Amino acid sequence: MSIPWLLRIVSGKQKGPAAALVRVGLWSLTPIYRFAVWFRNRQFDTGSRDITSVDAKVISIGNLTTGGTGKTPMVVWVSQLLQRNNLSVGIVSRGYGSRDDQTPNDEALELLSRLPAVPHVQNPDRVAAARSCIEKHSVDAIVLDDGFQHRRIGRDLDIVLIDASNPFGFGNVLPRGLLREPISSLKRADIVVVTRCDRVEADMVLATRRRIAAETSAPIVLARTTANSLFQHKNSEATTTDEPTEIPIAKAHSGRWFAFSAIGNPESFEASLAELQLDVLGSIRFRDHHHFDDGDLRKIVVAAKQAGADRLVCTHKDLVKISRESIGDRPVFALKIDFEIFEGQEEIEQAILDLFATLKALE
């Protein structure tokens, strides 16, 4: 069962008796999942499961749904805010999709390229990871990537991201929908950030805000993504292509592009390319966190040639895994995405920096 097909099932786009039968099956499993989530949260709420504090401020960035909601750009944004205010920061994440315990996953590689001075510790045991980061790097703050459901580690601020283009996972928890836990869990959030507001009409953003406000009194912040250029991986050795390292979108319109991705929300990436009016002649999607092998790269090049494309475009997360400036004779670029908070920025900045008021007073 492929992921795209399953998404068509849960969204209701896939029609026919077989699709209806699968939806019934998923419905039958949903109460089991919902009970398991309720029981686990109840244990933490009542104190029957311990919440462990660490010797640094912990800022959790998470979401309610599976798939991409913009957590990595938010991690970058928070980390850079802390750096600008002379606070040392480390990142902790599970490391989902890594080849082994010693190899960073694609998200860690992307964060390394964007935040080279920020230590990043990956470990399924987030408490152990945070303690290791604090001990080795003496950080003031831990940014906990994808931490909303990982309740064993205490946090000082819970930031929850909601994707405006599919805010509530088709209205159902897993496996019938994409919600990792019910919408009512937003009551645990300290701040809710609605991402990708540029992907939908203003009335849909307003409806999402109202739905969130019905569950929590937490501040609601609005964010969007912008793309102004494409960039290329460069080896330390002499480059093998005449293409520049970075090209503005305006100059990219002359190319014939073929897109590929292995991310949680490929629709958003492809929508960005369409909005930028790039001449994209075809695309291939791989499973989130997929590790590209030589066979995959050959498949991409063959498909690009068949489509008549002379350039390849992917996401930053994909490019750091490939670590090359071309695949075959096709140069490969990544779309440079910038994250912008356009409503509520002052409020979220203040909430974050207030955590360190005592520390600043002692300096």
Residues 330, 312 contacting (CB under 8 angstroms):
yes
* Residue 336, marked binder: no
CA angle 194/200/205 to nearest 5° reads 45
Q: Is 336 exposed, middle or buried (0-12, 13-18, 19+ CB in 10 A)?
A: middle
What does the alpha-carbon distance between residue 271 and residue 199 come to, in Å, rounded to a whole number?
8
Of the candidates 8, 132, 160, 186, the one whose C-alpha atom is nearest the C-alpha of residue 69 is 160
State yes or no: 251 annotated in a binding site: no
CB 313 within 8 A of CB 335: yes
226 is in an annotated binding site: no
Burial bucket for residue 10 (CB in 10 Å: 0-12, 13-18, 19+)? buried
> Contact, 262 vs 287, CB < 8 A?
yes
Is the CB of residue 10 less than 8 Å from the CB of residue 170? Answer: yes
Q: Cα separation of 77 and 83, whole Å?
A: 10
Establish whether 95 is an annotated binding residue.
Answer: no
| Residues 246 and 336 sit within 8 Å (Cβ to Cβ) | yes
Q: Is 13 annotated as a binding residue?
A: no
Q: Terminus-to-terminus CA distance in the chain, angstroms?
A: 57
Can you name the residues that pair with 179 across neighbouring β-strands?
65, 173
Asked if residue 30 belongs to a known ligand binding site, the reply is no
The answer to whether 72 is a known ligand-binding residue is: yes
Is residue 317 within 8 A of residue 73, CB to CB? The reply is: no
User: What is the residue type of 323?
Assistant: S
> Is there a contact between 341 and 161 (Cβ–Cβ < 8 Å)?
no
Q: Is 67 annotated as a binding-site member?
A: yes
200 vs 192: CA distance, rounded Å: 18
Extract the annotated binding site for ATP.
Answer: 65-72
Extract the annotated binding site.
Answer: 65-72
